[in-house]
Amino acid sequence: MSRRPAQRTATRRGASPAKRKAASRRPKRPSLLDQAVAALPFSQATLQKIATWGMVGTAAAVALGIALWLGLPGMAGVAASQVVGEAGLRVDEIQIDGLKRMDRMTVYQQALDQDSRAMPLVDLALVRERLLKYPWIQDAQVSRKLPNTLRINIIEREPAAIWQSNGQLMLVDPSGVLLEPVSRESMPDLPLLIGDGANAQEPARAKLLDEAPALKPLVKAATWIGNRRWDLIFDTGEKLQLPEGEIEAASALRKFADLDAKQRLLGKGTIKFDMRVAGNMVMQRPAAASAPLVAGETGE
């Protein structure tokens, strides 16, 4: 009677080590916290720096509080800068996108001219404000990329014309903003604006030429006369004098384009076409340069 229970007990005790050995060979399933950390778009080193930043931020806050309590606001900023900088969260790299014409070193200088290069203390708004003072830069976005990169995205202005004034040539954008000087030897293939204040009239010039798409590529230069009207100079050297007023000039240019399409006015050696008087076009030819101008009806 007493042996059977002993045998059952021995059997159970003999099986338990094998079960424990098999259980020890099973892979440990990662916890939900481990899975969440693995899914984050950061490396382990970056996570450690972020954690360090949190601890350093607490220390910086304590330093600030002590300095302010002592009535030393200047010391507060210095203390915070030192504490955060010692954590290694400093601007070590600047990533610039969108830069085509402006000098890259100028952008670096404006970004790094800071009281502190500690990442949390870099003044992003100040960097953007400085960059927007340069004519080539139409807009700029400045942001932090942890742990040590400053990102600057530049939107540059596009040159639309060349302004000639007082013997100097300047690139201008579509709104007339002056970009930079250009030499005659390196002039790009862009329309030429001539006359005082002609750069500010670039939007009006572009709008005017849109009224005559066939003539637009033939216009080599536009002279702003007396701050009130345009003379257009074609690649043939011929000049078209337009009347004052945006509507009147557009109407005259459309009529001239229609006549040129039907009668081929351009390219025949005419010195100028004068359309300053509504409904009339006066043509001056080289042989009659000193004679009275020949008038012709425009059909208006």
Which residues of the chain register pLDDT less than 50?
1-2, 6-12, 36-37, 40, 42, 47, 50, 53, 55-56, 59, 61-64, 66-70, 72, 75, 82, 290-295, 300
Q: What pTM does this model have?
A: 0.67
Q: Which of 185, 196, 189 is nearest to 228 (CA)?
A: 196
Q: Could you check whether the bond before residue 73 is cis, i.e. omega within 30 degrees of 0?
A: no
Instruction: Count CB neighbours of 84 within 10 A.
Output: 23
User: What is 101-149 written as a DSSP string?
Assistant: SS-HHHHHHHHH-SS--BGGG--HHHHHHHHTTSTTEEEEEEEEETTTE
Instruction: Count CB neighbours of 150 within 10 A.
Output: 23
pLDDT recorded at residue 285: 87
β partners of residue 153: 97, 141
State in Å, rounded, how far the first CA of the chain is from the last one.
133
Q: Are 148 and 93 in contact (CB under 8 A)?
A: yes
User: What is 229-280 written as a DSSP string?
Assistant: EEEEEETTS-EEEPPSSHHHHHHHHHHHHHHHHHH--TTS---EEE--STTE
Q: Are 229 and 242 in contact (CB under 8 A)?
A: yes
Tallying the residues shown for the chain, one arrives at 300
pLDDT recorded at residue 296: 54
Q: What separation in angstroms does the CA of 32 have from each of 14, 29, 38, 267, 295?
A: 36, 9, 10, 81, 91
CA separation for the pair 256, 258 (Å, rounded): 5
3-state secondary structure of 15: helix
pLDDT recorded at residue 116: 83
Which tokens go with 222?
């536009």
Q: What angle do CA 47, 48, 53 make, to 5 degrees?
A: 95
CA separation for the pair 199, 165 (Å, rounded): 9
Q: Are 102 and 137 in contact (CB under 8 A)?
A: yes
Give the side-chain half-sphere CA count within 13 A for 61.
Answer: 6
pLDDT recorded at residue 71: 53
pLDDT recorded at residue 21: 54
pLDDT recorded at residue 19: 54
pLDDT recorded at residue 121: 87
